[in-house]
Amino acid sequence: MDLMEKIFALAKRRGFIYPGSEIYGGFSGFWDYGPLGVELKNNIKKEWWKSLVYEREDVVGLDSAIIMNPKVWEVSGHVEAFTDPLVECKACHHRFRADKVEANVCPDCGGKLTEPKKFNLLTEVYVGTTEEGKEKAYLRGEITQGVFVNFKNVVDSTRIKIPFGIAQIGKAFRNEITAGNFTFRSREFEQMELEYFVEPEAKEAERMFEFWKNARLNWYISLGMSKINLRFREHEDKERAHYAAKAEDIEYKAPFGWSEFEGIHNRTDYDLTKHNLKYKDDQGKEYTPWVIETSGGVDRAALFFLLNAYHEEKERIILKLHPKLAPYKVAVFPLLANKEELVKKAREVYGGLRKDLFVAWDDRGNIGKRYFAQDEIGTPWCVTVDFTTLGDETVTVRDRDSTKQERVAIDKLAEYFQNKLSI
Ligand code: ATP
């Protein structure tokens, strides 16, 4: 089994990610996150939000609607230019993205491909209650436009001044020609984006571009991404999106090749000019700010963090997820499930820790099997309540990565884990 197959199997088996609508045969490009997957995704989003909105004075948050007035997408250029080049095999009629196939040959049957034609990625929806009154709208193809259309609202309703950023996390939809590589290319996915507005000067934009590029790379590294799995790649002229004057990707070394993780774009004044929006500074000077954007995918982050964390040591599978990202922070076990006093004490410890942390309970099988099961889902610490506990109110804490064990007093446990989590 290659790594992608292993992650796919683990994700399903342990409740991270399931194929969407599976009992009806699935639906290509759509995925559901299980009990552990939703925790992993929420933890990624929480850390991202914390690093931008809570830790910086110059960034505020937003949550705009998924469906907007269709004029937004006409004005932004997406109706016209949000396209990928589509080719079709003349023999089997399978469709592909022209820039993802080699030598004009069908990857499925070897047949000849048609000339590329533009394929728009926006997903259409119809809104309204009567047949005649239904209006065509779009599910947003990027979450970005919601930020631009609220630019004036945010400036007017906060005290924020340029340079400043608006951060947003939310679903986006693209009618991808070929969804695939598990969740990497989905038709429904989540983005986490920062639009950072600067004065309209190329030099300032370039400086902030470099700043955000490095800040974003370091954020991934601070959450346990191996440096060797990450790199920057600048877009060539022909692949840049219609709004970008400069674009660089942070790429991840996936089993299917180096792949875009997050895009850093200099959108200049393209969008605000299109929406006819300006900014007035304290001196009354009016101008159209430029925008540096960092646009990452939550689903790609979840997938790449899983791939990056996957380790095998002999029989053991270990997800070495950063504790801040791990779904469960701690698992609590009674040494023996049939000793009432151990179970009672362990339930007390479990109940106490659950006030602040997401904690697992396991009393099946033996301790070895429980460690094995927790390692596989990335739980950083396991707590065992044993006979010594009943005498001295201490428990064994076992570390996932080193497998080292130490005794910690029950009344110090919450603080012990909070300290470890704050590193
Ligand atoms: P690609 O070249 O892979 O199609 P893109 O350049 O079109 O990506 P952007 O428009 O820059 O992507 O979107 C920003 C981010 O949103 C991407 O870096 C990625 O993390 C995420 N993203 C984009 N499309 C998808 C998708 N179909 N499925 C999952 N995540 C996506």
Find out whether the beta carbon of 176 lies less than 6 Å from any atom of ligand 1: yes
Centroid of ligand 1 to alpha carbon of 54 (angstroms): 26
Find out whether the beta carbon of 299 lies less than 6 Å from any atom of ligand 1: yes
Find out whether the beta carbon of 323 lies less than 6 Å from any atom of ligand 1: no
Centroid of ligand 1 to alpha carbon of 285 (angstroms): 36
Rounded CA separation 290/292 (Å): 7
Task: Determine the pLDDT at residue 1.
Answer: 81
Centroid of ligand 1 to alpha carbon of 96 (angstroms): 17
Residues of the chain with pLDDT under 50: none
Task: Determine the pLDDT at residue 254.
Answer: 97
Task: Determine the pLDDT at residue 339.
Answer: 95
Find out whether the beta carbon of 140 lies less than 6 Å from any atom of ligand 1: no
Tell me which residue has its CA closest to atom 4 in ligand 1: 185
Angle at 256 between CA 78 and CA 314, to 5 degrees: 140
Tell me which residue has its CA closest to atom 22 in ligand 1: 297
Find out whether the beta carbon of 165 lies less than 6 Å from any atom of ligand 1: no
Find out whether the beta carbon of 295 lies less than 6 Å from any atom of ligand 1: yes
Centroid of ligand 1 to alpha carbon of 297 (angstroms): 7
Tell me which residue has its CA closest to atom 12 in ligand 1: 263
**Which residues are registered as beta bridge partners of 231?**
251
The pick from 182, 191, 234 for probing ligand 1's pocket by mutation, whose C-beta has the most ligand atoms within 8 angstroms, reads 191
**Neighbour tally for 403: CB within 10 Å:** 13
Angle at 139 between CA 137 and CA 142, to 5 degrees: 125
Nearest alpha carbon to residue 320 among 358, 370, 375: 375
Rounded CA separation 251/253 (Å): 7
Q: Which two tokens stand for residue 227?
A: 């440096």
Tell me which residue has its CA closest to atom 18 in ligand 1: 262
Tell me which residue has its CA closest to atom 29 in ligand 1: 185
Rounded CA separation 113/43 (Å): 43
Find out whether the beta carbon of 141 lies less than 6 Å from any atom of ligand 1: no
Angle at 175 between CA 174 and CA 180, to 5 degrees: 90
For 88: left if phi > 0, alpha if psi spans -120 to 50, otherwise beta; the answer is: beta
Alpha helix (H) ranges present in 50-176?
71-75, 78-81, 144-149, 151-157
Task: Determine the pLDDT at residue 225.
Answer: 97
Find out whether the beta carbon of 189 lies less than 6 Å from any atom of ligand 1: yes
Nearest alpha carbon to residue 36 among 220, 309, 262, 229: 309
Find out whether the beta carbon of 262 lies less than 6 Å from any atom of ligand 1: yes
Tell me how far CA of residue 375 lies from CA of 51, 214, 239, 328, in angstroms: 28, 32, 41, 11
Centroid of ligand 1 to alpha carbon of 120 (angstroms): 15
The pick from 175, 182, 258, 300 for probing ligand 1's pocket by mutation, whose C-beta has the most ligand atoms within 8 angstroms, reads 300
Centroid of ligand 1 to alpha carbon of 420 (angstroms): 34
Angle at 386 between CA 380 and CA 388, to 5 degrees: 120
Q: Which two tokens stand for residue 356?
A: 């602040």
Q: Which residues contact 380 (CB under 8 A, 6 or more apart)?
A: 321, 323, 326, 329, 330, 399, 400, 401, 420
Find out whether the beta carbon of 191 lies less than 6 Å from any atom of ligand 1: yes
Q: Which residues contact 388 (CB under 8 A, 6 or more apart)?
A: 394, 407
The per-residue pLDDT for range 84-94, each reduced to its tens digit, is: 999 999 999 99
The pick from 100, 260, 291 for probing ligand 1's pocket by mutation, whose C-beta has the most ligand atoms within 8 angstroms, reads 260
Centroid of ligand 1 to alpha carbon of 174 (angstroms): 9
Centroid of ligand 1 to alpha carbon of 185 (angstroms): 7
